[in-house]
Amino acid sequence: MTMLKIEGVHTFYGNIEALKGIDMEVNEGEIVTLIGANGAGKTTLLMTCCGAPQATKGRILFEGTDISRMPTHEICQLGIQQSPEGRRIFPRMSVYENLQMGACTQDPKHFDSDLEMVFDLFPRLKERISQRAGTMSGGEQQMLAIGRALMGRPRLLLLDEPSLGLAPLVVKQIFDTIKKINKENKVTVFLVEQNAFHALKLAHRGYVMVNGNITMSGGGAELLANPEVRAAYLEGGH
């Protein structure tokens, strides 16, 4: 079943057209990845799904509801949570308070079990529970950003470059956890990544974005084997 359907979306920053008519969909239970070079419009597409900025043309449907004209906080309350680019945790608040903020739209009765679930996924966060979030390492902050998003009980989790600036070992750990979240918690994941190799290995399906257009799509393994993708995003790396 289609969970998120993006139909002919155009997004502008002033006069600059960042997205030039995007069509894609994310099905329930999938991990879908969007890869592309810097400035291709990946983050813009993710943010457009969240309503900031709003799409100028086209529609975005989440479980049949058009969310393209809704304000961000209402979209979140439908069950879409994101771990934004650059993590954007609250640096002067403790880990615990950050997780509380993630749960702020949810019924408090779920809080304890959700917290347990996040700590199971990221035992490191439990050790750091009363530490100021800004004083943690990049990897821990990324875990916190994902954990915070999970506290909002999402059905669709949007992840923007979770591997940014992290050591290869930590990247692997994060990606393993994403897989676990998808499998065990039944959360659909829409992953935006520059680290094409890891992302495509993990994803069920993938899209390739160039200059605000989707140029290719297909299964994760299929794209990974595609010579064009290899030439553009994978050669020289890994």
Q: Smallest distance, Å, CB 97 to other proteins?
A: 7
User: Which is closer to other proteins, CB of 26 or CB of 224?
Assistant: 26
Residue 78 CB, nearest approach to other proteins (Å): 9
104 binds other proteins (CB under 8 A): yes
Q: Tell me if 119 contacts other proteins by CB under 8 A.
A: no
Q: CB of residue 135 vs other proteins: minimum separation in angstroms? A: 13
Report in angstroms how near the CB of residue 45 gets to other proteins at its nearest.
15
Q: Which of residues 46-85 bind other proteins (CB under 8 A)?
A: 50, 52, 71-73, 76-77, 81-82, 84
Nearest CB to other proteins, comparing residues 65 and 77: 77
Number of residues that bind other proteins (CB under 8 A): 29
Nearest CB to other proteins, comparing residues 37 and 78? 78
**Minimum separation from the CB atom of position 75 to other proteins (A):** 8
Taking the C-alpha atoms of residue 13 and residue 120, their distance in angstroms, rounded to an integer, is 40
The one among 8, 13, 65, 88 contacting other proteins by CB under 8 A = 88
Torsion sign (Cα): 91, 97, 99, 100? negative
3-state secondary structure the chain: CEEEEEEEEEEEECCEEEEEEEEEEEECCCEEEEEECCCCCHHHHHHHHCCCCCCCEEEEEECCEECCCCCHHHHHHCCEEEECCCCCCCCCCEHHHHHHHHCCCCCHHHHHHHHHHHHHHCHHHHHCCCCEHHHCCHHHHHHHHHHHHHHCCCCEEEEECCCCCCCHHHHHHHHHHHHHHHHHCCCEEEEEECCHHHHHHHCCEEEEEECCEEEEEEEHHHHHHCHHHHHHHHCCCC
Q: Quick one: which of 100, 194, 213, 215 contacts other proteins (CB under 8 A)?
A: 100
Q: Which residues pair with 33 in a beta bridge?
A: 191, 206
Part of the chain binding other proteins (CB under 8 A), chosen from 93-101, 166-174, 193-201, 227-235: 93-101
Of 53-61, 90-98, 206-214, 228-236, the window that binds other proteins (rule: CB under 8 A) is 90-98
Type of residue numbered 95:
V
Residue 97 lies near other proteins (rule: CB under 8 A): yes
Task: Using CB under 8 A, list all residues that contact other proteins.
Answer: 50, 52, 71-73, 76-77, 81-82, 84, 88-94, 96-97, 100-102, 104-105, 129-130, 148-149, 152
